[in-house]
Structure 1
């Protein structure tokens, strides 16, 4: 429940701090005194959009802060999911800076407006005249029935399944569209694939073939230079080997005379060994060099195939052709295996749909089970509120398609008069009747679910006399289990509160401002007397006010 509301620089309010307690709290005040401003401030701190027009003084920031006792709301899991620090006494603060920038905090942790709005539904239900119009909204009607049917967990499960189902349907559509496009390209892709498959391209093949081709095209020059090099190495008179043999013999003869000569002899021996090895390789290379016109033709044909494929696919390497080969394999395989893939996806969809149907059936059954008692309770409450002939015709109609909250359509019809035809609420119920219907619904919900703090904004519109006493009694009953705050213009209701607040205007230095104060018992007598008879207080009005309070 809300325990304190603090407002600075908002609309007509300079500064305000007011405490609230449990039970039934009454707020009264003259028309235009600022009762709507309080609701606006509460809406702001709970996530409503804000703009600079909310600032009383546009040079200063606006701050609205609300404290809530949340110990009985089971909100620890919500706080953990939203990475917020849980406190039994939670403080929500909203700031609007002169620049227009808005900030929100929960227990001093910055939060987004979406998170704040999610928290709002768990803390406070603000009933306004606008919300009365929601009675004709199917989603709102479903929310009433599902709250009584305790369908929240089942609907959450259904929605997860529905998201999965819709995702799978999209995947199936994409598969079919891709298959259709692939079918159109299949023959061409298969031709391209077979070309690359038959080519049997190998990594590094192109470079190796180009090197071999270069060698064959220059075979005569290679043969000539190898022969000359070999002759230089092995010539008996002036060849490198002959000269090195002589040099080695000379140094061997003197190597024993000093360490220096010994090292020179070792070095020339090492050089001689290396030259002998080179000569051997030259001999082998010279023997291997042979012009083969068939090999030249084969290499030219192979390279031409590779070049043609590269030109066709606009690439410059065998590796890129191999990648295209893999891609074509996937495209061809996708078409050839498409039926199996589509059938598997359809089977997956059918399985999810079967589970969805099971959950939807449980949701439908739970809804149908609570409707008779809901109709009975609403009709009994409305009879107390001066509508003895009110009747509801609420019916669940199962459908085949998947809706956002199950597989049901809802018919929520109403008749206010005996023998009258049933019709949509917005067409057959007056404003005052809609207010009483909404109050009755909130009463039923409060008995069957854990509602947060509820604020009624002039829900007594269009009623008077004994009916107003009944409305007050219903609010009193509701306040036994929850915090109820009501803005009213009826003295019969104002007198039933556990505490009574008054909104009033005052002028200071030529500027009009609004404020809210908790009334003493004596002040309550005066306020209710004025509500009964106007500003000119009479003894009878004061006496009547005291009787109401007693």
Structure 2
């Protein structure tokens, strides 16, 4: 509920602060007095974009502040989500600086315009003939039915499951794209993997093979030189070992004489032992030499295969080839694993579709059940409003599409007169007819929902007399359950209000100023009398005004 509105330096308003009451309030004023300024100021404080043209004094700051009582609106979760201090009496402030910058605050917490607009939708509904087009919107038509059918728990569960379903569908799409990409490479990856597996690679084997290859490839050369080395060691006359033994014989004779000679003898004997061992190893190595062209070919073939694989994969070692083999194996396995994931996800999606369809059908049946009573209730309200022959039909059909609020497609059909074919409301209803229908719907919804404060902006345009009187009664009845404002030019409506505010414009030598004030009982009589007879207020107009006001006391 809007408790207070203060406006400073905005358009024609230098400064104004006005307190508002609950129930049904009337706002009147001559054309051009500034009623639209009041609505624009409210729009601004609740998130409408602004520019410097709104500043009355271009060098001053514009401040619009609205105070709301929100205890019955269950808005704590909204405040927590947006990190705003929650107060049952919440103050929303908007500032427009001379620089053109705009700032917004909720309970002194700075907020952006998106948050402000979202909060504004929950606090205030400004309704004019132009906004009756909302009635032709399918989502809004469904919301009307849902409010009365009380399908919110079912829809919440449906939306929860729909979110999970869409997430699974998105995941499936991602996996299928991955699978398609992998399948393009699958044959090639499989070929490369099989090629590496068939090579039977082992870590460290390249060095062993290269060493063995060198031996086998040079067996004759090695044999020739090993035999030559053995011969030089073994020759009976000039061999190294023969000569060494002669040297040893000479040193043994002088060794007892001094320790130096003994040391030389010992060293020579060590050399003799080492040379004998070298001769023995050389003989064994020479004996082991086998000329094996077949084995040489096998090793050469194995090495060439390794070299070709290294060139193909642009690596230098067998270990790097083994790493690539592991990677290829993982890719091939991944493609097979994705197929299993896709199958499991498809099954999950299929089950989710069944559950969603069941919920969609339950929601459809709940909606369908209340449509006849809702249709009759709307007809009962608008019939006295100059539409006695109006006929409605909510054409609700269960579709195969998972929509955000169920699976229903809807069209509101309407005819205003007898003998007229039902047609889409957006094509068959005039602006005035839609205004009255919307008024009836808002009046019905007020019985089921905690609606925000609603302002009817000249919704009674184009009607008069008895119809205007009944429209006023409807709005007054709504005021028993919520705060309702009506901006009107009709005295029959104005007389219905629990309180009456007037917007007026004053001109002096220097500037024009608009202000809004609450009328006293006497001022209210004069205002309604003027609405009845014009500027020249007659006694009969005053008496008529008193009668109108007396009827609603």
- Residues 133/198 of structure 1: CA separation in 2 closer, same or farther (3 Å cut): same
Q: Normalised by the size of structure 2, how large is the TM-score?
A: 0.80
Aligned to 1:241: none
Deviation (angstroms), 1:479: 0.6
Q: Which residue in 2 is equivalent to 1:124?
A: 124
The CA RMSD over aligned residues, in Å, is 3.7
Counterpart residue number, 1:359: 359
User: Are residues 53 and 66 of structure 1, via their aligned partners in 2, closer, same or farther at CA, if it must alter by over 3 Å?
Assistant: same
Residues 209 and 303 of structure 1 are in contact (CA less than 8 Å); yes or no, is this contact kept in structure 2?
no
Question: What is the CA–CA distance in structure 2 between the aligned matches of 1:119 and 1:515, rounded to whole Å?
Answer: 27
Which residue matches 2:230? none
1:443 is aligned to 2:446 = no
Note if contact 2:206-2:303 (Cα within 8 Å) is conserved in structure 1. Answer: no
Residue equivalent to 1:313: 313
1:79-94 equivalent positions in 2, closer than 5 A: 79-94=79-94
User: Alpha-carbon deviation of 1:201?
Assistant: 5.6
Contact 2:389 2:416 in 1 (8 A): yes
1:493 aligns with 2:493: yes
Residues 265-308 of structure 1: CA distance to partner in whole angstroms, max 9, x if unpaired? xxxxxxxxxxx9xxx9xx99x97997999999999877765554
- How many angstroms apart in 1 are the aligned matches of 2:438 and 2:320? 71
Identify the residue that residue 394 of structure 1 maps to in structure 2.
394
User: C-alpha displacement at 1:342, in angstroms?
Assistant: 2.6
Match of residue 261 from structure 1? none
Structure 2: how far apart are the matches of 1:301 and 1:60? 92
> Corresponding residue for 2:415?
415
Output the CA distance in 2 between the equivalents of 1:172 and 1:489: 60
Contact 1:431 1:461 in 2 (8 A): no
Q: Is the 8 A contact 2:393 2:412 kept in 1?
A: yes
The answer for the alignment partner of 2:138 in structure 1 is: 138
Which residue is equivalent to 1:149?
149
Partner of 1:29: 29
Q: Separation in 1 of the partners of 2:502 and 2:336?
A: 79
- For 1:180-259, list aligned pairs within 5 A: 180-199=180-199, 205=204
Q: Distance in 1 between matches of 2:320 and 2:84?
A: 53
What are the superposed Cα offsets for residues 439-487 of structure 1, whole Å, 9 maximum, x if unpaired? 0000000012221211111111111001111111111111111111111
SS in 2 for 1:448: coil
Per-residue Cα deviation, 1:498-546 (whole angstroms, up to 9, x for no partner): 1111112223553333221112222212221221111222222222222
d(CA) in 2 for partners of 1:315, 1:97: 67
1:287–1:350: structure 2 CA closer, same or farther, 3 Å change rule?
Answer: farther
Gaps of 5+ in 2: 227-246, 252-258, 261-269
**Shift in alpha-carbon separation, 1:311–1:9, aligned structure 2, 3 A:** farther
Residue 419 of structure 1 deviates from its aligned partner by: 2.7
Change beyond 3 A, Cα 1:314–1:116: farther
Distance 1:310 1:133, change over 3 A: same
Task: Name the SS for the 1:176 alignment partner.
Answer: helix
State the distance in 1 between where 2:432 and 2:494 align: 18
Partner residue in 2 for 1:228: none
Q: 2:517 aligns to what?
A: 517
Q: Which residue of 2 aligns with 1:472?
A: 472
**Alpha-carbon distance between aligned partners in 2 of 1:323 and 1:63, rounded to the nearest angstrom:** 69
Question: Could you say if the C-alpha distance between residues 510 and 182 of structure 1 is closer, same or farther in structure 2, counting changes exceeding 3 Å?
Answer: same
Is contact 1:209-1:299 (8 Å) kept? no
Could you list the per-position Cα deviations for residues 164-215 of structure 1 after superposition, in whole angstroms to 9, with x for gaps in the alignment?
Answer: 3233223333433443443333221111122333456667x499779979x9
Task: Show the counterpart of 1:5.
Answer: 5
Instruction: From the superposition, tell whether residues 128 and 189 of structure 1 become closer, same or farther in structure 2 (CA, over 3 Å).
Output: same
Aligned to 1:100: 100
- More divergent stretch after superposition (40-49 vs 320-329): 320-329
Q: Are the aligned partners of 1:132 and 1:435 in contact in 2 as well (CA < 8 Å)?
A: yes
Q: Distance in 1 between matches of 2:379 and 2:427?
A: 18
* 1:489 CA displacement: 0.9
Stretch of structure 1 that moved more, 364-373 or 321-330: 321-330
CA contact (8 A) 1:206 1:303 kept: no
Q: Which runs of 5+ in 1 are unaligned?
A: 224-234, 239-245, 248-275
- Corresponding residue pairs, total: 500
TM-aligned CA distance change 1:345 to 1:399, over 3 Å = same
Give the drift of 1:405: 1.8
Q: CA 1:19–1:301 in structure 2 vs 1: closer, same or farther (change >3 Å)?
A: farther
Conservation of the 8 A alpha-carbon contact between 1:67 and 1:89: yes
Are the equivalent residues in 1 in contact too, given 2:189–2:332 (CA < 8 A)? Answer: yes
Deviations 1:111-145 (A, max 9, x none): 23332233223222221222211211111111111
Kept in 1: contact 2:72–2:450 (CA 8 A): no
User: Aligned equivalents of 1:317 and 1:508: distance in 2?
Assistant: 97
Residues in 1 aligned to 2:54 and 2:319: alpha-carbon distance in whole angstroms:
67
- The aligned counterpart of 1:527 is 527
Task: Give the stretch that moved more between structures: 296-305 or 540-549.
Answer: 296-305
- Using the size of structure 1 for normalisation, the TM-score is 0.80
Tell me how far apart the structure 1 counterparts of residues 478 and 143 of structure 2 sit (CA, whole Å).
19
SS in 1 for 2:311: helix
Going from structure 1 to structure 2, the CA distance change for 1:448 and 1:211 (only over 3 Å counts) comes to same
- SS of the residue 2:446 aligns to: helix
Q: Report the secondary structure of 1:537's partner residue.
A: coil
The Cα of 1:365 is off from its aligned counterpart by 1.6
Cα displacement (A) at 1:432: 1.7
Residue 538 of structure 1 corresponds to 538
Structure 2 counterpart of 1:463:
463
Q: What is the match of residue 164 of structure 1?
A: 164
Name whichever of 111-120 and 65-74 sits farther off: 111-120
Residue-by-residue CA offset, 1:27-76 (whole Å, 9 max, x unaligned) = 11111222122222212222223333333334333222111111122222
Give 1:414 deviation, angstroms. 1.2
Secondary structure, counterpart of 1:501 in structure 2: strand
- Where 1:414 maps in the other structure, the secondary structure is strand
Larger deviation: 461-470 or 409-418?
A: 409-418
Q: How far does residue 163 in structure 1 lie from its aligned partner after superposition?
A: 3.0
Larger Rg: 2
Aligned residue number for residue 42 of structure 2? 42
